[in-house]
Amino acid sequence: MAQLDAALAKIDANLDAALQRLFALVSIPSISTDPAYAGDCQNAAEWLKDELHSLGFEASVRPTAGRPMVIAKAKARRANAPHVLFYGHYDVQPSDPLDLWKTPPFEPRLADAPTGTQIVGRGTSDDKGQLMTFVEACRALKETGDFPCDITILLEGEEESGSHSLPAFLAENRDELRADVALICDTSMLDRATPAITTMLRGIVTQEVVIKGADRDLHSGLFGGAAVNPVHVLTKIIADLHDENGRVTLPGFYDGVAELPAEIAAQWREIGFDGAQFLKDVGLSVPVGEKGRSVLEMIWARPTCEINGIIGGYTGKGFKTVLPAQASAKISFRLVGAQDPEKIAANFRAFVKAHLPADCHAEFMAHGGSAALQLPFDSAPLTRARAALHDEWGKEPVLIGSGGSIPIVGAFKRDLGMESLMIGFGLEDDRIHSPNEKYELSSFHKGARSWARILTALGAA
């Protein structure tokens, strides 16, 4: 334990320097979905490679068809140490709407809030701050002796845009990446005082649909009434995707969706989640999901269909009396249980086609997807991590679900036969994917301390 104590003291003493490093990484606008930022993604990958190299990792930036991967490897000096694969992502979501940011998204800063100091900037929580908690833990362990485990680090640059290059990359590098357990940092705590291990994630299907009508934009006075309006067609189809009880109407959508096992339902009741407060925190009061379900069920255990974006017609300043030639929407489905992403994508496309009136046709684009995930909650690494988290936070960690999706976790299991442990220090109010994203300084600091403890616990004989 002497080394762990020294490592924890190092993390405390080096917090300011660690923050400067995080600021440097957050300053790089590594937005993966927009090709204009491909160079920045490359820069973020190079920055991380250099950082890991300086900690004694054999580190490289590996090109893919999309954004590069960073791979870093270090071995414990002792033989037969367990091997962990740590995963994080260095890409971030677009920062728009820009005018809602109090300060520029890629100029990170500290802000004082009633609950404590916050680190503000795009990617501070999702996922640069989180992945740097692990890197800082590695630094402290290295500086105070040795790594307790053999460590491979995989940092992806396309998580926020569908992980397109991932399946091929995993297939090609299977042997290099396979470890005893994968550690995923891209998740949340229950609340600012209570650590959590996430054992359930929702899956996702993303579909973009374009509906086309006339062969050009038309004058809405001269043609309106006679010519089909693709915006009307699209919005009607979208409205028909839900019934009056909040259920999704796609045929077969609920195949593979089971009721929550009693044991999990009981665990979740103990968590004491306050659905009304959860909505109140974002200015809402009435849940809109399936009737008769609790808010926690709605976000952790039930599937959804959400319109993420809708485009059509004139949206500029002033007014234009146009009857648009096309309209499009970006739609995602969150999946649970055994719902099949491919089947749902196919059913959606069939649904749209079946609802098209004469003279309209539809084009589709997919942006990646993944099935829902259920991890074991009694594995040996989980038990060790639980104790390590308890030591840091002075509180038993809870096992939680999450409504978000991390496509790689399913691929680790499917393609590499590897279980994952999902531990992160994000908070519900971190505004990930929103303006003014933040990460708590306490998450950053105690997150690094937690990883030092978890690595030590996993490496113990």
Q: From the CB of 97, what's the least distance to Zn ion, in Å?
A: 20
Task: Give whichever of 56 and 403 is closer to ligand BES, judged by the CB atom.
Answer: 403
Instruction: Select the residue interacting with ligand BES from 165, 402, 450, 456 (CB under 6 A).
Output: 402
Residue 410 to residues 185, 406, 453, 460, Cα–Cα distance (Å): 15, 8, 26, 27
User: Nearest 5 degrees, angle CA 98-CA 99-CA 100?
Assistant: 90
Q: What is the C-alpha separation between 157 and 42, in angstroms, rounded?
A: 9
Are the CB atoms for 185 and 134 separated by under 8 Å?
Answer: yes
160 binds ligand BES (CB under 6 A): yes
112 C-beta neighbours (distance < 10 Å), count: 9
Tokens of 308: 């993420």
Task: Give whichever of 40 and 186 is closer to Zn ion, judged by the CB atom.
Answer: 186
162 binds ligand BES (CB under 6 A): yes
265 C-beta neighbours (distance < 10 Å), count: 14
Q: What is the C-alpha separation between 144 and 83, in angstroms, rounded?
A: 20
410 binds ligand BES (CB under 6 A): no
Task: Give whichever of 67 and 212 is closer to Zn ion, judged by the CB atom.
Answer: 67
Task: Give whichever of 237 and 408 is closer to Zn ion, judged by the CB atom.
Answer: 408
Per-residue binder mask for Zn ion (CB under 5 A), 345-384, x = binder: ----------------------------------------
Q: From the CB of 258, what's the least distance to ligand BES, in Å?
A: 21
156 binds ligand BES (CB under 6 A): no
Q: From the CB of 400, what's the least distance to ligand BES, in Å?
A: 9
Task: Give whichever of 126 and 158 is closer to Zn ion, judged by the CB atom.
Answer: 126
405 binds ligand BES (CB under 6 A): yes
Are the CB atoms for 195 and 425 separated by under 8 Å?
Answer: yes
204 binds ligand BES (CB under 6 A): yes
Instruction: Select the residue interacting with ligand BES from 121, 404, 410, 459 (CB under 6 A).
Output: 404
95 binds ligand BES (CB under 6 A): no
Q: Which stretch binds Zn ion (CB under 5 A): 45-53, 120-128, 135-143, 407-415?
A: 120-128
Task: Give whichever of 187 and 339 is closer to ligand BES, judged by the CB atom.
Answer: 187
Residues 6+ apart with CB under 8 A from 77: 146
Eight-class DSSP state of 391: H
User: Nearest 5 degrees, angle CA 194-CA 199-CA 202?
Assistant: 110
Are the CB atoms for 208 and 362 separated by under 8 Å?
Answer: no
Q: From the CB of 353, what's the least distance to ligand BES, in Å?
A: 25
Site for ligand BES in 296-355 (CB under 6 A): none
Phi, psi at 168, each rounded to 5°? -65, -40
**Pairing relation of β-strands 83-89 and 181-184?**
parallel
Tokens of 160: 């926020």
Tokens of 177: 């990446």
CA nearest neighbour of 185 among 144, 138, 145, 140 = 138
Q: How many residues bind ligand BES (CB under 6 A)?
A: 16
User: Nearest 5 degrees, angle CA 300-CA 394-CA 428?
Assistant: 30
Q: Which does 405 bind (CB under 5 to 8 A by kind): ligand BES, Zn ion, none?
A: ligand BES
Instruction: Please list the residues that pair with 402 across neighbouring strands.
Output: 201
Q: What is the C-alpha separation between 455 and 219, in angstroms, rounded?
A: 65
Q: Which stretch binds ligand BES (CB under 6 A): 67-75, 98-106, 184-192, 226-234?
A: 184-192
N-to-C CA span, the chain: 13
Site for Zn ion in 384-443 (CB under 5 A): none
Instruction: Select the residue interacting with Zn ion from 40, 51, 91, 127 (CB under 5 A).
Output: 127
91 binds Zn ion (CB under 5 A): no
Residues 6+ apart with CB under 8 A from 30: 37, 40, 41, 43, 44, 67, 90, 91, 92, 123, 157
Task: Give whichever of 186 and 392 is closer to ligand BES, judged by the CB atom.
Answer: 186
199 binds ligand BES (CB under 6 A): no
186 binds Zn ion (CB under 5 A): yes
Q: From the CB of 325, what's the least distance to ligand BES, in Å?
A: 29
Are the CB atoms for 40 and 157 separated by under 8 Å?
Answer: no
Instruction: Select the residue interacting with ligand BES from 381, 407, 410, 447 (CB under 6 A).
Output: 407
126 binds Zn ion (CB under 5 A): yes
- The one-letter code for the residue type at 340 is D
Instruction: Select the residue interacting with ligand BES from 187, 207, 328, 450 (CB under 6 A).
Output: 187
Q: Which stretch binds ligand BES (CB under 6 A): 116-124, 219-227, 314-322, 403-411?
A: 403-411
Are the CB atoms for 228 and 214 separated by under 8 Å?
Answer: yes
Q: Which stretch binds ligand BES (CB under 6 A): 5-13, 158-166, 242-250, 315-323?
A: 158-166
Residues that bind ligand BES (CB under 6 A): 126-127, 159-160, 162, 186-188, 204, 368, 402, 404-407, 426
Residues that bind Zn ion (CB under 5 A): 126-127, 186
